[in-house]
Structure 1
Amino acid sequence: MELSGTILAGEDYEPVDGRVIVEDGEITAIEEAETASTDIICPAFVNAHTHIGDSIAKEAGRGLSLEELVAPPGGLKHRLLADASREELVESMERSLQFMESGGTTAFLEFREGGVEGVEALLDAAGSRDIEPVVFGREETEVIEVADGYGASGAHDSDFSEERRAAERADKPFAIHAGEVDQHDINPALDLDPNFLVHMVHAEEIHLERVQDSDTPVVVCPRSNLVTDAGLPPVEKLLERTTVALGTDNVMLNSPSMFREMEFTAKLFDVSAPEVLRMATAAGAEIAGLNCGVIEPGREARLVVFDGDSDNLCDNHDPVRSVVRRAGVDDVKNVILP
């Protein structure tokens, strides 16, 4: 397979006119050449934090606090999940995954409620699609046997030491929410030596130093944090210290659109377009242990091809900035996934 156009190549996403050569699902070469194609070839996105299980409850809970919405076990989302049938949950998740895939998301890191049954339901929903789930199970420790790792709700809710040890015994990653409501659960979360943290809205200098010293990646979800009135993460300070990836968080509150998350992040924080694109691609892939997110030989060919002559993207002077700040599903010409 050959894809021609403007290639957002390498770890710096430098625009290069030419061809991407793909063989057996792997990028084998990038050839610089003159081309008449106006396509923009970009790495596919990795959504680094989702709650796709909440697809059954879109826009529920208006006016409720974050705790009333999502805190286990009595938050609204948990009640709605308990009331829905398995068939309803799977169908709703399938629709969200279809939407994500059509927008160029190649993989997602899911914190999945419902224990073993919850993980199995999500895997059923993803079974007919090309998008790859990386599932962090929750609740009972046994969920680690069927999940890719364990995703803890936060040190406010429990100690999670046993879950951390179980993940280590299984040689699987352990991740945890931290600093979403306040700063008090960040040090206890870091004490668990997680593979990555989620949110870090209320991180203070001492926490940032610990993140840097331990080289702990962080996933930020700015739209979700704003919607729930949690605040905004210190994205610029985090980027100075560690790997930072983007997630869309709870489908109950936000569409799982990496386009919206990138645009919001690029326009709200003092970060460059290539930095934001890395947060939406290579950083999430790195956290998930996937060989994608960068267009270079030896990487998996997980790619999004944009119509650079669409009404939205035509006459653009900066392809990277255009993808990050203005592109959308309607501009997607093709999605190449394994």
Structure 2
Amino acid sequence: MRGRVVVEEGEVQAVEACSTDSTDIVLPAFVNAHTHIGDSVAKEAAVGLSLEEAVVPPTSRKHRRLREASREELITAIRRTMAFMQETGTAVFLDFREFGTEGALALRDAANTEPVEEFIFGSDEPDVLDVADGYGASGANDSSFGEHREAAREAGKPFAIHAGEPDDTDIHPALDLDPDLLVHMVHAGADHLSRVAEQDVPIVACPRANLVLDVGKAPLRDLLDHTTVALGTDNVMLNEPSMFREMAYTARAFDVTPREVLGMATRAGAEIADLNYGVVEPGRAAKLLVLDGDSNNLAGYEDVIAAVVRRAGAADVKRTVL
């Protein structure tokens, strides 16, 4: 639609069709639905490593590097990654933060100077829910998370868990916990998807991270046919948290349409975190991304959604409205 978006006091007041000379493209700012932003202290540290060697606690390269980093180093690295997220059009990220309450507080302190918003899934002790927005479990094969699941329920906060990343053995146990969110589901089969649909559990897919760690490709078409699916960039150690790159890879590597991919990068993540944006319509918070539709990269596009999903990048960003 050609026209204008009217914003007042941080809220979309109107979306109006009208003639305009502007070539700008206005869309919802991105929601990066799964990150491990503490890994900003260890970029590219996992090159050539297996999943276990790269990220599995407590002996992985990631966790050794996190233990070695000072709090100051961690906060500085997180802030720089958040600044990059803003530069590439992200409004909020949903982060699985390691090291319990201390880790969650470090992320809060890092984020208090940045316009990009954090949504923290805390770890370790149930008391992390006093400072976190939800609880993020590593995987049902790692520990019994019944106590943590109940604590999240009592706190009225979401419980999320990794499932089906290296194989399918932790998927049914994860679903037994009645989670509010599943992450990965690379090895989901028909029986798992039936339960996902029945329990109405949304999923975050992280295609590039799965590629880097060589754990397989999620059945993304099947996931979308059964539930809400959002996109996340996962560990900053593995990939830069660019939703542009995540969308472009997803659109090319899976049986999905550009419109579906854009929804996964915006609306779906906002719905998962119960945020009042992800869609440009009256009454929504004005978290917007403005692209230069006449940039050297985008000029001449014929399908605006395909151009945004498959072609756009940081150089095309004119403004991220947060």
Q: Which interval holds the TM-score relative to the shorter structure?
A: over 0.9
- Kindly provide the amino acid, as one letter, of the partner of residue 51 in structure 1: H
Is it true that 1:156 corresponds to 2:141 in the alignment? yes
Query: Could you tell me which of 273, 281, 294 is aligned with 1:296?
Result: 281
User: Distance between the aligned counterparts of 2:292 and 2:47, measured in 1?
Assistant: 37
User: Distance between the aligned counterparts of 1:295 and 1:60, measured in 2?
Assistant: 38
* Equivalent residue number for residue 9 of structure 1: none
Moved >6 Å (runs of 4+):
none
Give the share of equivalent positions with the same residue, in percent: 62
User: Distance between the aligned counterparts of 1:160 and 1:185, measured in 2?
Assistant: 12
User: Distance between the aligned counterparts of 1:237 and 1:299, measured in 2?
Assistant: 30
Instruction: State the shift of 1:63 in Å.
Output: 2.4
Query: Could you tell me which of 81, 84, 88 is aligned with 1:99?
Result: 84
* Equivalent residue number for residue 204 of structure 2: 219
- Kindly provide the amino acid, as one letter, of the partner of residue 297 in structure 2: N
SS in 1 for 2:33: strand
Is it true that 1:235 corresponds to 2:220 in the alignment? yes
Q: What 5-or-longer segments of structure 2 have no aligned partner?
A: none
User: Distance between the aligned counterparts of 1:243 and 1:103, measured in 2?
Assistant: 24
Query: Could you tell me which of 185, 200, 206 is aligned with 2:185?
Result: 200
Question: Deviations 1:189-217 (Å, cap 9, x if unpaired)?
Answer: 00000001000000010001000111100
- Kindly provide the amino acid, as one letter, of the partner of residue 252 in structure 1: M
* Equivalent residue number for residue 275 of structure 1: 260
* Equivalent residue number for residue 170 of structure 2: 185
User: Distance between the aligned counterparts of 1:306 and 1:20, measured in 2?
Assistant: 14
5 Å-filtered alignment, 1:68-87, equals 68-87=53-72
Instruction: State the shift of 1:231 in Å.
Output: 0.4
SS in 2 for 1:240: helix
User: Distance between the aligned counterparts of 2:321 and 2:103, measured in 1?
Assistant: 29
User: Distance between the aligned counterparts of 2:23 and 2:47, measured in 1?
Assistant: 43
Query: Could you tell me which of 90, 104, 107 is aligned with 1:122?
Result: 107
Question: Deviations 1:210-268 (Å, cap 9, x if unpaired)?
Answer: 00111100000000001001001111001001000000000000100000000000011
Query: Could you tell me which of 20, 23, 31 is aligned with 1:38?
Result: 23
* Equivalent residue number for residue 326 of structure 1: 311
User: Distance between the aligned counterparts of 1:225 and 1:142, measured in 2?
Assistant: 31
Is it true that 1:165 corresponds to 2:150 in the alignment? yes
5 Å-filtered alignment, 1:129-140, equals 129-140=114-125
Q: State how many pairs are aligned.
A: 322
Instruction: State the shift of 1:86 in Å.
Output: 0.3
User: Distance between the aligned counterparts of 1:127 and 1:239, measured in 2?
Assistant: 35
Instruction: State the shift of 1:62 in Å.
Output: 2.6
Instruction: State the shift of 1:299 in Å.
Output: 0.7
Q: What 5-or-longer segments of structure 1 have no aligned partner?
A: 1-15
More deviation in 120-129 or 195-204? Answer: 120-129
So what's the TM-score if we normalise by structure 2?
0.99
User: Distance between the aligned counterparts of 1:258 and 1:309, measured in 2?
Assistant: 21
Instruction: State the shift of 1:61 in Å.
Output: 2.8
Question: Deviations 1:161-207 (Å, cap 9, x if unpaired)?
Answer: 01001111111100000000100000000000000100000001000
